[in-house]
Structure 1
């Protein structure tokens, strides 16, 4: 079961963007993939579904 770690996601994305020179989009994709998601869209969709249903998808 995938459960996002928002703090780790934000930190990894920031490091990849600023130190790694990636675009924000690419940095967020990398951070999402590090947590087992296909990309940032899948990561954010998981969070949106959780907010709406209050259940772990």
Structure 2
């Protein structure tokens, strides 16, 4: 992924999907991650972790 994920948009979309949509937190985070082009929440969080550790955008 060539752009930095939008954390605020991720959290907002996940919260809406969870509380208004009735999804579990896991399902809501997967939905929010896919909306930003990730395979799911695990890939989203891993990208962010790599970014923080490496101090540069992951490949």
TM-score class normalised by the smaller sequence:
over 0.9
Aligned positions, number? 57
* Structure 2 partner of 1:18: 19
- Structure 1 SS opposite 2:57: coil
- Name the structure, 1 or 2, with higher relative contact order (CA <8 Å, separation 6+): 2
Q: TM-score, normalised by structure 1?
A: 0.97
Question: Is this contact kept in 2: 1:2–1:36, CA < 8 A?
Answer: no
Gaps of 5+ in 1: none
Which runs of at least 4 in structure 1 moved beyond 2 Å after TM superposition? none
TM-score with structure 2 setting the length: 0.94
Distance 1:31 1:22, change over 3 A: same
Q: CA deviation at 1:3?
A: 1.8
In structure 2, the residue matched to 1:54 is 55
RMSD over aligned Cα, in angstroms? 0.6
